[in-house]
Amino acid sequence: MSAATQGLTQKVNRLLSSNVSIASAGMVSCLNGVSEFVPKGGNTLAARRQLQHQLEAKDLQHCKELLERFSPVSKVFEATERILDDLNATVEAASERVKAARKSSGSLVERASKLEEEKKIIQSKSKVVNKLLSQFQLQAHHSKALESNEVNENMLDAIERVNEIRDNCHVLLESYQRVGLDMIESLAKRQERAYRVLFHWTQKHVQSIAENTGGALNPIFTRGLELLKQRPAYFSHCLDMVANARRIVMIKRFIAALCRGGPNGQPRPIEIHAGDPIRYVSDMLAWVHQAVAMEREFLL
């Protein structure tokens, strides 16, 4: 057997031993497609070699066409890739900003927490200061009243307020001697001035008070006299003046009752009954009894 015959035999045997069915539709279709490139009567060695080049060229053409058809898709993918790259860069930038914001917000939260603590401390100190001021500070209207020469309810309120502050300062001396002394000294001049004004005002009104015939006393006078007890010298002098004025008034009233009687002659003068010693003395004692009752009411 020649070498050519032997090679052909091997090819035929290999084809027959393969799993590909020669009569299958796929094989027939492939053979029909290949037959286009083989000229009639051209089953020669040169034609077979040319067939390989033609198939490779056809395959290359199909690949080019496939590439051309997929070119728009490739462009879409490239654009998508660029968008994804931009999106990725944006996400990374946003992530960095979020990290920076978290870091910044963390410091802000810490700062806010510290400020809240400081606020609580300041509020606590403010309460202490307000309480201190309520016990040791004069309000503006009190200070104005102490500097005034007019004696009224405001001045009396201011004097009472000063007395309260001085009492609080004496308590303060037990722990903070220097502060207590400074506050007492700052109030002393205004307090003495207010007492002096009150004393002079009381002196001026003693006579009108002494002539009171049983009506309600001036509440400012009685309250002012009560406050003057804090200054024994002023208080004692005022009491002496009131006593002297009342004594003079009572003497005048006794003489009037003795000689002239009441208004329009009623009651009649006590001296009318001078000839009757018992009646005379009884009328005088009755007047004294009534006068004592009036003085009692006056003093109360």
pLDDT tens profile 270-292: 787 777 888 878 888 887 888 77
Q: How far is CA 129 from the centre of its chain?
A: 17
Tokens, residue 20: 């590909």
Mean pLDDT of 73-98: 86
Q: Which of 149, 167, 295, 157 has the alpha carbon at shortest distance from 223?
A: 157
At CB < 8 A and 24+ separation, what contacts does 249-253 make?
Answer: 249/210, 249/211, 250/291, 250/295, 253/291
pLDDT per residue as tens digits for the range 8-48: 577 667 666 666 565 566 666 666 666 666 666 556 666 66
Question: In this prediction, what percent of the chain has a pLDDT beyond 90?
Answer: 0
pLDDT at site 210: 65
Mean pLDDT of 158-178: 76
Give the lowest-confidence range in 123-127, 143-147, 149-153, 213-217. 213-217
Per-residue pLDDT for 215 more than 60?
no
Q: Do the beta carbons of residue 156 and residue 224 sit within 8 Å?
A: yes
* 153 Cβ contact list (under 8 Å, min separation 6): 220
pLDDT at site 213: 56
pLDDT at site 20: 57
**pTM of this structure:** 0.51
pLDDT at site 43: 61
Per-residue pLDDT for 64 more than 80?
yes
Q: Do the beta carbons of residue 162 and residue 184 sit within 8 Å?
A: no
Per-residue pLDDT for 73 more than 70?
yes
CA separation for the pair 147, 137 (Å, rounded): 16
